[in-house]
Amino acid sequence: MAEGESLTEEKTGTVIRPLMVSDRETVSQYCPSFRHMLFGFEAQDVACSMVVPPASEIEFLLFPGVKIMEHPLMRFPFFYLQNRKNLFGRLEAVRPSIVHCIGTTRTILAKRIADYFDIPAVVTVNSTDVWLPLRPIIRKTFDRIIVPSTRIAGGLVKHFPKEKIININVGTFADEACSCLPSMIVPGKFDKFNDYEPLLNAIRHLTVDGHEFVVVFMGKGRAEKEIREFIIQTGLTQTISVTPLIRPLRSVFRGCDVFIHTNCKGKFDPGVIEAAGAGLAVAAERNNLEEFLVNDSTAVLFDSSDEFSIYASLQKLLEDKIMGRKLALNLQNYLRTNNSVSSMINNLMHIYEETLKPTFGAAML
């Protein structure tokens, strides 16, 4: 094998050097998934690089074989041309063969990179809600639209060609241990107190009824002050604590037993997969986008706007620990079968190879 040539290139004859382009919020939310993806590419000796904004918590993703480029370096509009020239100069050194935009926020940047190097591009869409001005760009620029669930695919067919949309499950590793209850964690962006008030009331009623457990609200947002005030006013300081986001998530989840998944708002939550992989039982909003969450089979589902529905679901887990353990085991087994990192990487590599193949017309020229 020639020096610098990957195993994939040797087998397929296709040079695959993916360039990941993403935004700060997606990097933060999908941090564990990025780590698994980069680990998988490195294991297959695939030269991978990334373009992300400054201060993107990228230190949690670093691998020796991955080239990380921050853009823009100078965050002022009148430095646009300098930033663009600087980025393309750094990209010349890695010579990407395909652009993979993860999240829709930076699709315009991904398009400019693909146009500059005259290479194909694919995009991962993690929500059914795509900003209207970006839809024509995605339709025209990206050869494949990758989604993490069939429910998102179903919501996108009205905006994009069905043949372009392909589902690839988010890969993870499943631990051997699983939950035994009763500690709970609620990661999230606390932007609106009303989104969390039903859950807080349900927790209050559970403690009044004599259930003993602890809950960690992990994250930050505009409503954090109101959440803290509610906790103090209702005497829940011994039951609920509020902490900032802690990394790595898998280590945090291993210290908990129940993952409470609320306020989906049309977005896929990769935190559910990490929590399930760590062996937590999942209590989730019934209108979620994670099709592997099946009521009383792999999770307990509730209506996040109804505190009595939340109360009943959490009460079920607190009073029937055997059932909670069974749900956690069922979900872990599902992930082992359907959401392995190796399958995710193989599926991505297949898409890259198919996208890089010249068309019949091009081959005849």
Mean pLDDT per 10-residue section of the chain, whose length is 365 residues: 48 78 91 88 90 79 77 77 91 95 96 96 95 96 96 95 96 76 87 94 96 94 96 95 90 92 82 93 93 96 95 94 93 95 95 80 39
- Taking the C-alpha atoms of residue 192 and residue 194, their distance in angstroms, rounded to an integer, is 5
Helices 31-43 and 341-356: crossing angle in degrees, nearest 10, is: 70
Residue 178 lies in a domain: no
> Are residues 142 and 252 both part of a single domain?
no
> Are residues 199 and 348 both part of a single domain?
no
Burial of 76 (0-12, 13-18, 19+ CB in 10 A): exposed
- SS3 sequence of 78-101: HHHHHHHHHHHHHHHHHCCCEEEE
Residue 321 lies in a domain: yes
At residue 361, the pLDDT reads: 39
> Are residues 250 and 122 both part of a single domain?
no
> Are residues 256 and 355 both part of a single domain?
no
Residue 273 lies in a domain: yes
At residue 119, the pLDDT reads: 96
At residue 359, the pLDDT reads: 47
Residue 1 lies in a domain: no
> Are residues 225 and 318 both part of a single domain?
yes
At residue 95, the pLDDT reads: 93
For 41, the domain range is 7-171+340-364
> Are residues 77 and 88 both part of a single domain?
yes
> Are residues 148 and 192 both part of a single domain?
no
- In the block, tokens 């937590």 appear at 280
Tokens at 352, concatenated: 């890259």
- SS3 sequence of 31-61: HHHHHHHHHHHHHCCCCEEEEECCCCCHHHC
Nearest to 58 by CA among 37, 40, 77, 35: 35
> Are residues 318 and 353 both part of a single domain?
no
> Are residues 164 and 247 both part of a single domain?
no
- Taking the C-alpha atoms of residue 300 and residue 330, their distance in angstroms, rounded to an integer, is 12
Residue 2 lies in a domain: no
> Are residues 206 and 302 both part of a single domain?
yes
Residue 359 lies in a domain: yes
> Are residues 36 and 133 both part of a single domain?
yes
At residue 80, the pLDDT reads: 79
Residue 52 lies in a domain: yes
Residue 176 lies in a domain: no
At residue 57, the pLDDT reads: 73
Contacts of 316 by beta carbon, 8 Å cutoff, 6+ apart: 300, 323
DSSP H helices, 209-320, are: 224-233, 249-253, 270-277, 307-319
Evaluate the omega torsion of the peptide bond into residue 96 and state whether it is cis, within 30 degrees of 0: no
> Are residues 149 and 296 both part of a single domain?
no
Evaluate the omega torsion of the peptide bond into residue 187 and state whether it is cis, within 30 degrees of 0: no
- Residue 110: give its domain's CATH number: 3.40.50.2000
Strand 183-189 and strand 281-285: the pairing is unpaired
- In the block, tokens 């887990």 appear at 317
Total domains present in the chain: 2
At residue 236, the pLDDT reads: 95
**110 φ/ψ angles, rounded to the nearest 5 degrees:** -60, -40
Angle at the Cα of 339 (from 182 to 14), degrees rounded to 5?
150
Question: Hey, is 28 helix, strand or coil?
Answer: helix
At residue 264, the pLDDT reads: 65
- In the block, tokens 């020096």 appear at 3
